[in-house]
Amino acid sequence: MNHCTPKDLLEGRSPANAQFIDVREPEELAEVAWPMFAAMPMSGFQGTFQELDKNRPVVILCRSGKRSENCGIFLESKGFAEVWNVDGGIIQAEEEGAPVVFNQD
């Protein structure tokens, strides 16, 4: 598995034609989100991962980097060749100035 930081992504150092996936749960996504990442909660990941293209890189985000790493390991076991974990997750993304969106409620 490959690893990157939010700063890497902000500076354009991400794989070409990547799929950006956020595996946090809906209640977490409702609090703060990074819009370039599509929601695919970990709780249903085994049933939804088939929607991803095995021939394109997958960049995975969660709160801190652990759940996304577990999902990445799962994808590799299913034949995905290029998987990237965002180390530090949305917490680090916010700290590094990513264009995150907060729920205003």
The residues assigned a catalytic role are 62
- 53/50 Cα distance (integer angstroms): 8
Q: Whose CA is closest to 58, among 27, 22, 87, 89?
A: 22
- 25/41 Cα distance (integer angstroms): 5
Residue 39 half-sphere exposure toward CB, CA atoms < 13 A:
11
